[in-house]
Structures are given as C-alpha cells and as structure tokens.
Amino acid sequence: MLLKKLYFKSIHIFARNFPGAFAALVRRGILNEPRWVNLQLRMDGDDSNYLKDDHRNREWYCDFLEAHQSIKVLEIGAGGMHDVRLLKERGSFERIDYTIMDVSNQVLAEGKRIFPELKFKKGSINNIPFPDNYFDIVYCRHVIEHQPEFQTPVREMLRVSRGVTLINLFRWTLNDTWINRVKKFSNSYNIQDLLAFMRAETAWFEYFILLKGDKPGVNVYDDPAIIRADDHMLLVLGKKEGESHKAFASSLEKYRRHVIDKPYDNDPPTYNPQPKQHGAYEAE
C-alpha cells in the first residue's frame, strides 16, 4: 500500500512539473491519470450513486443498442456502471456481447463481481488493447473531456469499431479549446474543431443535444462561451452505412420533443442554455 501511494504521488509530481511529457505519455497509453487509475468504488454499497443521474440519454443509449439484432459493444470508462445496470434490468444482454474497459483495477474487479455475465478489460482509451474493427459499437460517456486532447481517443475508438462510435459529451466551448489540468484533465474543446474532425474521420456523422428537462438547462459558467448544463451532446460516428444508421434514426423518434439536432450547424446556434444563476456552483 505504501509503495502504491508513493507511486501515485510521484506521478502527480511528474505531471505537475513536466506537463508536456506527462500529456505525451498519456496520449500513448503509457501513463494514465492517477485520479482514474486509483478510483476506488464499492458499487453496491456507499458508492452506488457515483455519477448516477436520471438523464434520458441513458435510456436512449439502451434503445439505440436494442434497435440492433445482435451486436458486440465496448464501453470505455463505465464509472458507476449505470448504463449497464439499466441494460441488465431491461434484459438486453441476451443479444448484446458487452465488454467494459477501464484503467482502474478496483472498478474492473467490482464490475466482474456485480456483472459476471459481462467481459472486462484493463486499458486506456488512448491505446485500446483490441484489434481493428473488433466491435460493432464503441461507446464512452464523459471520457474524452478528461484526456490531453480529443484526436487520439476518437481515432482509437474508430479503429476498433466496425460500425459506430458513440460519444457522450458534457462540456464544450464556442471559443478556443480550453485544456485545463489541476488534479486531472478536465477540458472544454472548441465545438467547431471537434465537429470538423469527426466529419473528416467518418463515413457518416450525426450529433444532437438531448435535453434533460423540457427546456435547455442552466449553464454552470459565467462565461456563456463555455457550455455545461444538464443537457448532453451525443456524437454518433459511423464507419459505413447500414443497420446502425437506420437504428440511430429509429431510436430518436420517442425523444424528438427533447432533441436539438445539429445545433452548431446554424448561426446563431439553435441550442442556448439558460445563463448561470447567481450563486450557482461552478463545476471543475
């Protein structure tokens, strides 16, 4: 235990004093953020609510998977594993071959204990330990914001997918990309740069905002150019036309009232969160 603490402390010191070298090693999957590697969760105990929310994007994700006949799925960085809990409640694993990848040994051990019917693999989103075109769908929720940049993880996800890469984004910016690292990377990427990159890398590309409530949520930032509300952006990257594109279209039908489609293809954008309320908490 002492050696483990010393190791993580040394990584923190290295990251603080040599941020460029640390970021380069994370991009190559040689190092990972100590915050995530050392994540300790008891998922059916005190930590059962870790990252839990009642956002309808979890239900939509399940609907999208279930719109396929039989698929192999990789989820990266499953956190409290609330999406797989919902899939299990719905009986979805009868026709979904599901793998969870994480950098935390503790998270993987907990996952194996609670979901023995699933597969688990240790690995970094920046260097995914699977061959090309291995999964039908590759998914992450609130992961690429915590990397040194978005290009490497997105390319890795696309590499191991033979169908769709699905990314759930919780924060972005209308101005310059903001790379922020204090105890961990917690970035806001310029949305136009992000969208242009994804369009260039894929055969087809869709994106939309899925509202949590009946109207846009409240931004947590004073600066209106940095967007983080309770509403999430879903980015759907397809490697080829086919079943998944049709499944995507059909899965959105019951959510239409809460969908803002391609808001940043318009000037001005068609999504505008409510301004930050006085005294509201500003997230890290």
DSSP string, 30-95: SS--HHHHT----TTTTTTTTT----HHHHHHHHHHHTSSSEEEEEE--TT-HHHHHHHHTTGGGS
Contacts of 260 (CB under 8 A, 6+ apart): 208, 209, 211, 270, 271
- Which residue do the tokens 């001005």 mark? 268
Q: Domains along the chain?
A: 2-265 (3.40.50.150)
Longest dimension (CA), the chain: 55
Terminal-residue alpha carbon distance, the chain: 29
Cα–Cα dist 203/184, whole Å: 33
Torsion on CA atoms 28, 34, 37, 41, rounded to nearest 10: -160
CA distances from 269 to 127, 209, 222 (A): 34, 12, 18
Helix orientation angle between 56-66 and 82-89, rounded to the nearest 10 degrees: 50
pLDDT for position 240? 82
For residue 109, give both structure tokens: 């051990």
pLDDT for position 20? 93
Residue 253 DSSP label? G
Amino acid symbol at 194: L
Q: How many CB atoms lie within 10 A of CB 256?
A: 8
pLDDT in tens, the chain (284 residues): 677 778 888 888 888 899 999 999 999 999 998 888 888 887 777 667 777 788 999 999 999 999 998 899 999 998 889 999 999 999 999 999 999 999 999 999 999 999 999 999 999 999 999 999 999 999 999 999 999 999 999 999 999 999 999 999 999 999 999 998 888 899 999 999 999 999 999 999 999 999 999 999 999 999 999 999 999 999 999 988 777 888 898 999 999 999 999 999 999 999 999 998 765 544 44
- Cis? peptide before 116, omega within 30° of 0: no
pTM exceeding the 0.85 threshold for the entire prediction? yes
Q: Are strands 135-141 and 71-76 parallel, antiparallel or unpaired?
A: parallel
Cα–Cα dist 199/25, whole Å: 27
For residue 54, give both structure tokens: 């009642």
Cα–Cα dist 204/202, whole Å: 5
pLDDT for position 278? 65
Cα–Cα dist 233/154, whole Å: 15
pLDDT for position 283? 46
pLDDT for position 155? 98
